[in-house]
Structure 1
Amino acid sequence: MDILILAIMLSTSEAYFFSPIWFSKRINTTTSTHQQGKLIPDLPHRWSRVAKSNTVCQTDQCKKAAEALLENMNQTADPCEDFYEFACGNWDKSHPMPPTESSWSQFDVANDKNLYQIKDILESDVDTTDPSPVSAAKTVYQTCIRRDTSDTKENLKPILALMSSIGGGWPMVSGNRWDDKNFVWYEASADVISQIYSTAVFGVFVTNDRKNTKANVITVDQSAFLLPREMLVKSSTYKLQLEAYKTFVTEVAWVLAKAAGSSDVTKSSLHREAEEMIQFEIKLANLASPQEMRRNVLRTYNPMTLRELQEWSDMAAPNQIDWLKYVKRITANLTLTFDWTERVIVRETDYVFRCIQLLQETSPRVIANFIHFGIVRHFVRDMTAKIHQLTFEFDRVLSGATNDKPRWKDCISTANSALEMALGYSYVQKHFDNSAKLAALEMSDNIKSVFSEELGKLEWMDSSTRELARQKVAAMARHIGYPAWYSNSSALEYYYQGLEVSDNHFNNVLESSRFKFSKNYKRLRVPSERDEWIISPADVNAFFNPSKNVIIFPAAILQPPFFTKDRPSALNYGGIGVVIGHEITHAFDDYGRQFDAEGNYAQWWTESTKETYLNKSKCFVHQYGSYRVSELDGMLSDGTTLNGVNTLGENIADNGGLHAALAAYRKQSAQHGAEPSLPGLESFSAEQLFFLSFANNWCETVTKESLLQTVLSDPHSPHRYRVIGTIQNSEDFPKIFNCPRKKVDTCVIW
């Protein structure tokens, strides 16, 4: 998925399992078996409790659930010492990580199953009853599969032609033929946004107005980077990755230069220019704000007119950019008009100011190289076999995967990027049991109700803030399974009106990017829709969108191990129930709490309650910031810990979600009575099974390289700590597992 699209989604939503790095997957640590506290097999464990029910569930679903839990468990570990190891210690043995992957989790297993189901859909013959977007998705996929990837000049003509049309081409490839007189950096940047819907120096896109969520507005933001910002700003620490990056740029440029017939281009000249380009990107990264600074909504909400933005830029360096011309060029192919009174939101005013100064000090050739490599990296998996191989070699340094993915997975990604809602439509039609949607609706009702009840027990929250918090919970909308308009195939056709696909793979990728750009900018003059879906129903994920106050659970996550009908509710509440609780809690994490019931940025907290909340959140920052990631010793300086600030929102959501789901399960259990136990797990109480189900959400194997990506830039903690942290803070867990009392610092907000 494109970096800009991810940036837009992250700016408006909090995800349960979302990675902001395009080349990386969610990652976690592996752990070794605890040697102390070993338990004697076949004898009662000190933490065991006799289940309340004397019956054992013997349905197929119960047997499968029990088998899955048992094969992942390491029962020689002490659950009171390391519950992640107890619940997931044998995950790597029962689920060996494929060589094409850099991490392998429950999410990946579920997603892999989905990929095969989608593959069957895309490889099936075109059905005359299919809506046209479904047929188009099949065309995109099958064209991708059949494409010629031989290393010929003919196959590189499309990318060379595209680059030639933007700023006179890529200087590194053109050699002495490139003329800076034909290059205006902001014109080239505008063309990149409109042609491939990506960032170039600035991100410029349309989002909800955070103070008026019913309106959409042009938003200006800092650039996105290929490497994590931390690697760029600490380049001396990450020499291996920076050298791999330089090699990647050099070798890709060499392939394209030969295809372009540039006889004056040499490997040494490319190496020098790649170094200059990366140094420029490092300077940009140093100007950019880290993620932890961007969680303050007020700081990143800077409304102004284009005229005011122009005056701000001119103070930095006169005549470096004409913002009105810039916006008009971006939207040249759309029926939109602008003047200097156009209102925009600038996320990072300091970045804009200092970036304009940097651009004035930088040669046009270096800027053009940076912009054009951004174009190339958008298509690196869509060109020849040689460039594809170079991409994998670079990716391997960053991710640790040993084998490249098969082409069919790349082609599913291409088809999904172009027509994700069409693939979601077919997925729902063929593979989704609507009873799962009804069950998820009921569970979300229960957990919302309990969350609201729990607000009444909070002594630190004053009554006026509590009432507004309850109103926010009550107003929270739910998108579960799939959008309502899926019932009408003509609505799907309307959604993709204007997208044309063909039997030319490169053109399909380009046209889908242009279509997404057009769809984004056409929102500018129309009211924002609260029921808009931001993700495909075929995606194994979940979201909270703070600007709409809506929780989103696509159909694909309503499957094992997260949810299965006809199994004990303890497993479903520990699985998908915790996910639901997590997303509800996002409305009250350090970021989501800044939005009101309508999704608008507003100061609805009293000062005293806000101050108490902020003090309580510092506990989570310290707790998670003290978790040491020993697996990275040797890659970084010994003693590497998590970033407690960057992960604060997800950590608050993890803890609140677990508490709310358990409270909702207890309420449901009190109404419906004791549940049967599971075969092979008869000694486990229902609430112990709840916690096992929760921990199994996060079972994972990971490479050190991918773990590094998470620690540096992911807003989620590595999987192991998502279990350890919540268990440490749970007042219920030690009682349920009969753990000895210990003096342990705990953090609780919700």
Structure 2
Amino acid sequence: MSFHFVIMCLAIANSEIMRTEASMVQEREEHIKNSDKQCNTSVCKEAVAKMLSSINYYADPCEEFHEYICGNQITDNKPMSKKHLGLLRRYFKKNGNAQSEKYILDFRRFYESCIAFDPTFDFIENMKFIKKYTSTNLTGVFIESILTQSMLFFDVGMKIGEEDGSYIFQIGSPGKNALKTELRDWSVIQQVENECGEHLEKSLSTKSVNMEKSYENFEKCKDDLMMKYAERYQKDMQFALGESNNNVALQDSLKFLKRMTVRHINNTDKCASIPINMFNKKYGVIEWKTFFEGLASKTFTGNELVEIYNVEFMNGIFSHMKNYDERGLVELLQEFSSFQFYTHFLRHYKDRTLFCMDLSQQLMPDVTNVILYDVKSSLQINNSFSNLKKIFDDVKNILKNFLSESSLDDDTKSSYEKKLSKLELGLIRSGDRNRTHNNYLSLVVTKNYMTNLQNLLKNYRRTLFSLVGKKSSAETLLNFFVGPFTNTPKTFYPSNFVVWHPPLYDEQYFYLSNYLGVAKLGLLLAQEVAKHFDPIGRLFRTGDVSTASNDYYSVIISNTEKILYEYYLKTPYTFHGTSIDFLSINGSHFINEMIADYTAFRISTHYFETNTIRERLPWIFNNITEEQIFIIAAAQEFCGRYSKAEFLRNIIEGRRLPFPIKIQNMMSNSPSFSKAFKCSDGSAMTLDSSVMVQFPYKSEAIYYEYEEPSLSNDF
């Protein structure tokens, strides 16, 4: 495929950008009437152009499928893009006037105060503001630190309780909350990680790297950069306040941060749920009932359960606190809070307009939802509903058939089928205007960015924490815990909902060829459904069937571990032309994700083979088959910008399965892939049929005998 051909595709696609929604619907309906007709709609041309232009035709799909489908990918996968920024700015040009709802005006005023903020202007007053504290009482300082997301020791988030599906508090290590209750890239810790991640990426530009050594350098970079920021903070405070700053408290804070850095996320961390009234006896230090009531601005009986995530971590935290008296703890927390705000205010942003809009929509997700559902017409929303609902139901039926044909015992089959029938696709048709109106009644937004930020941070978390004790629902999950611009479905255990913002998803998927829509939407939905039946998901809302199915799952887990270590994580691993050496990897973090992924791809390929309309696509020649197009379209959902630094950190920290291995896992476990691309035995993307893992499998799987790799949790 020539470069000029790709440019032609993009040029034709771009010429079709100006189109109306009604015309897209009309185009699509005309082609559905005749499935033999080539899909010449503008969205088909645009989708095919993007797909073809992303392919690196020099790569061998049987050896480097990720490089083959993503090698020329130019799509930005940031949560907030310039496309989203433009949409919101156009909305405010028309609607951000005095007649608008207060919450709309609050959003606009905060965004404008962020744009106008200059940390160097009135510098001394800004530094004095950072050192102002609203509370000197230890319990009050704890509340303030949690609400402004600047707590040194731990964090408070939320999760869905297993007993009745209500929201409950979750307390534990920062950044490990089950539901999104923190801002992305807000903390000084995240800032340092991002900057050192850029340095790490530059260091990986050589032909060969040692992963453990590179990660050690990354950790050293974080320590050095944190100290650099601390020294700058102390000098600026000395200049602004004209007196010695509390250097001891800050240094103690940084020492603590270094000790609590966790390089690996241990999925078996022990959790415990205890009532609020038990916290005074277990941990002491503060008045815990007052603390939780201050977070949620509501009264509790004290019998409400709170989940402690990682009990050992929390025990260690409060053991460490015993080294300080009450005044010492207050100084420690206040100094770290000042340091946190200082690093935020002085941070440099390449595109401040994008940063400010992203910060605004994170702090006011409910307002953003109202706006985004307003700009989408009822025609598109209704079309999204019907399309997604059909695909979701089809995916469930396919998995139901797989379960019924499997070698699971009858009781487990029955239990899983009941669970499957209860899974719902949670969608909303509009933002919640009434709730949003009430959430901002008492909020005051002025031209002062620093005051606005503190007030909105508190309002954001208090709004979320006010949901504690209330039943979870698709509406609250989508309005508060799923980013308004998130274009993928989400599962929240133990809820039966798979939730999505359908009208915000790329509109092309609803108007292009049927089987391409299934490739993209079907695979994403199948992944979320499959998560409910991986080794973790099966334990939620299925009754006591874990004992009966333990042997069944142990086979799948064992065989999945085998292919991960012996096929996917061979050292050295080549990624983007760099050979990466590593000593040992704890792959147990990825097993559940792998099982859900290859199950989802099995469901979506079955869907494609049995239940799709095959329309011919523009610019597709005979050397590219429909089967290949389907697989390429599905796998390209995992392209985006993916760096070597992300690959390395995902592997070592166990955050998520790196995209190249994620794609390899799905494709190599599918006989459809090697057949479609005519891959020979022994190629990187081909597993022998005796090694492939399928869930749910029909007959008894083979137990493989292999030596367990030496795993280490500490590098």
Shorter-chain TM-score range: 0.7 to 0.9
Check if 1:437 corresponds to 2:380.
no
- Which whole-Å CA distance do the structure 2 matches of 1:553 and 1:292 have between them? 28
SS of the equivalent of 2:582 reads coil
Are the aligned partners of 1:425 and 1:537 in contact in 2 as well (CA < 8 Å)? no
2:259 aligned residue (277, 280, 283)? 283
- SS in structure 1 opposite 2:455? helix
Match status 1:515 vs 2:459: yes
**Aligned partner of 1:746: which letter?**
M
Contact kept in structure 2, 1:623 and 1:644, CA below 8 Å: no
Residues 103 and 367 in structure 2, CA contact (< 8 A), matched pair in contact too:
yes
Secondary structure of 2:509's counterpart equals coil
Task: Give, as a single letter, the amino acid of the residue that structure 1 aligns with 2:392.
Answer: S
Contact 2:392-2:522 at 8 Å conserved across structures: yes
1:48 corresponds to:
none
Q: In the alignment, which residue of structure 2 is the partner of 1:616?
A: 556
Once residues 333 and 676 of structure 1 are traced to their aligned partners in structure 2, the CA distance between those partners, rounded to angstroms, is: 57
Match of 2:526 among 571, 581, 590: 581
Change in 2 beyond 3 A, CA 1:531/1:571: same
1:63 to 36, 45, 70: 45
Q: 1:497 to 1:714 in 2, by over 3 A?
A: farther
Q: Cα 1:273–1:160, aligned 2, differ >3 Å: closer, same or farther?
A: closer
Superposition RMSD in Å: 3.6
| Partner secondary structure for residue 677 of structure 1 | coil
Structure 1 residue 734 displacement after superposition: 1.2
Residue 691 of structure 1 corresponds to which residue in structure 2?
Answer: 631
Greater displacement, 252-261 / 332-341: 332-341
The answer on whether the counterparts of 2:159 and 2:167 sit within 8 Å (CA) in structure 1 is: yes
In the other structure, the counterpart of 1:727 is: 667
SS in 2 for 1:278: helix
Closer, same or farther: CA 502–644 of 1 in aligned 2, 3 Å? same
Bigger Cα displacement from structure 2, 432-441 vs 725-734: 432-441
Q: CA deviation at 1:83?
A: 1.6
Map Cα deviations across residues 676-724 of structure 1 (whole Å, 9 max, x no partner): 2332344323222110101211223444444443334463222222211
Kindly state the Cα deviation for residue 110 of structure 1 after the two structures are TM-superposed: 8.6
Aligned-pair distance for 1:632?
Answer: 9.0
Of the three residues 301, 308, 316, the one matched with 1:346 is 308
Aligned partners of 1:279 and 1:388: how far apart in 2?
Answer: 23
* Cα 1:749/1:495, change in 2 over 3 Å: farther
For 1:239, what is the secondary structure of its paired residue? helix
Distance (Å, rounded) in 1 between the aligned partners of 2:629 and 2:232: 53
Distance 1:200 1:585 in 2: 37
Aligned CA distance change for structure 1 residues 726 and 128 (closer, same or farther; 3 Å)? same
Kept in 2, the 8 Å contact 1:193–1:200? The answer is no
Which residue of 125, 146, 161 maps to 1:209? 161
Matched residue, 1:447: 395
Question: 2 CA distance for matches of 1:490 and 1:309?
Answer: 35
Residue aligning to 2:590 = 647
Aligned residues of 2:145 and 2:151 also touching (Cα < 8 A): yes
| Equivalent in the alignment of 2:692 | 746
TM-score, normalised on structure 2?
A: 0.77
Give secondary structure in 2 for the equivalent of 1:74: coil
Q: Quick one: which of 232, 243, 266 aligns to 2:224? A: 243
Alpha-carbon distance in 2 for matches of 1:339, 1:55: 66
SS at match of 1:113: helix
Counterpart for residue 498 of structure 2: 551
Unmatched segments (≥5 aa) in structure 2: 1-34, 176-186, 195-210, 697-715
Give the structure-1-normalised TM-score.
Answer: 0.73
Q: SS of the residue aligned with 2:615?
A: coil
Alpha-carbon distance change, 666 to 135 in structure 1, aligned in 2, over 3 angstroms: farther
Q: In the alignment, does 2:188 pair up with 1:188? A: no
Deviation at 1:208, TM superposition (A): 2.8
Change (3 A) 1:239 1:616: same
1:257-268 matched pairs, under 5 angstroms: 257-262=238-243, 264-265=244-245
Q: What residue identity is the alignment partner of 1:559?
A: D
Counterpart contact for 1:189–1:201, Cα < 8 Å: no
Looking at structure 2, the residues matched to 576 and 110 of structure 1 have their Cα atoms a distance apart, in angstroms, of: 21
Matches of 2:82 and 2:593, distance apart in 1:
25
* Corresponding residue of 1:178: none
Alignment of 1:532-551 (within 5 A): 532=476, 533=478, 534-551=481-498
- Which whole-Å deviations, capped at 9, do the CAs of 1:347-404 have from their partners, x for residues lacking one? 2322232222222236879856763465246535752xxx224xxxxxxxxxxxxxx4
Match of 1:371 in 2: 333
Secondary structure of 2:364's partner? helix
Deviation at 1:153, TM superposition (A): 0.8
Amino acid at match of 1:579: L
The structure whose RCO (Cα within 8 Å, separation 6+) is larger is: 1
Deviation at 1:525, TM superposition (A): 4.3
The residue number in structure 2 matching 1:405 is 350
The structure-2 alpha-carbon separation of the partners of 1:124 and 1:721, relative to structure 1 and needing over 3 Å to count, comes to farther
Tell me: CA distance 1:718–1:642, structure 2 relative to 1, closer, same or farther (3 Å): farther
Moved more, 123-132 or 347-356: 123-132
- The AA in structure 1 aligned to 2:452 is N
Partner of 1:255: 236
Q: Does the 8 Å CA contact 2:76/2:641 hold for their aligned counterparts?
A: no
Structure 2 counterpart of 1:661, from 583, 590, 604: 604
Distance in 2, matches of 1:109 and 1:335, equals 30
Cα distance in structure 2, aligned partners of 1:577 and 1:733: 17
Equivalence for 2:25: none
- CA offset at residue 109 of structure 1? 9.2
Aligned to 1:132: 102
SS in structure 1 of the partner of residue 589 of structure 2? coil
Instruction: For residue 235 of structure 1, report the CA deviation from its aligned partner.
Output: 6.7
Partner of 2:15: none
Aligned residue in 1 for 2:171: 220
- 1:727 CA drift (Å): 0.9
Q: Tell me which residue corresponds to 1:32.
A: none
Structure 1 residue 478: Cα displacement: 1.4
- Partner Cα distance (2:483, 2:217) in 1: 40
Q: In structure 2, what is the Cα distance between the partners aligned to 1:537 and 1:237?
A: 32
CA-to-aligned-CA distance 1:102-138 (integer Å, 9 cap, x gap): xxx5534994422322233345552466443223211
- Shift in alpha-carbon separation, 1:405–1:189, aligned structure 2, 3 A: same
In the TM superposition, what is the alpha-carbon distance from 1:251 to its structure 2 partner? 1.6
CA distance in 1, matches of 2:335, 2:524: 39
Stretch moving more, 125-134 or 249-258? 125-134
Aligned-partner SS, 1:665: helix
Deviations 1:231-250 (CA, angstroms, capped at 9, x unpaired): 9xx97872122111221232
Distance 1:366 1:409, change over 3 A: farther
AA in 2 matched with 1:242:
D
| 1:80 and 2:62 matched | yes
Distance, in Å, in 2 between the alignment partners of 1:205 and 1:616 is 33
Q: Paired residue for 1:718?
A: 658
Distance change (3 Å), C-alpha of 1:192 and 1:527: same
Could you list the runs of 5+ residues in structure 1 that have no partner in the other structure? 1-52, 96-104, 168-182, 314-320, 390-403, 598-602
Contact residue 202 and residue 221 of structure 1 kept, 8 A: yes
**Residue pair 1:539, 1:556 contacting (<8 A) in 2 also:** no
What is the distance in 2 between the residues matched to 1:636 and 1:312? 50
> Equivalents in 2 of 1:333, 1:210: separation in Å?
22
Query: Which digits, 9 at most, give the CA deviation of each residue in 1:526-571, with x for residues without a partner?
Result: 44445422224333343111122211222366216xx523322221
Q: Is the 8 A contact 1:153 1:259 kept in 2?
A: yes
Aligned with 1:293 (options 267, 288, 293): 267
- Look up the equivalent residue of 2:667 and give its one-letter code: I
Are 1:418 and 2:363 matched, yes or no? yes
Structure 2: distance between partners of 1:56 and 1:133:
47
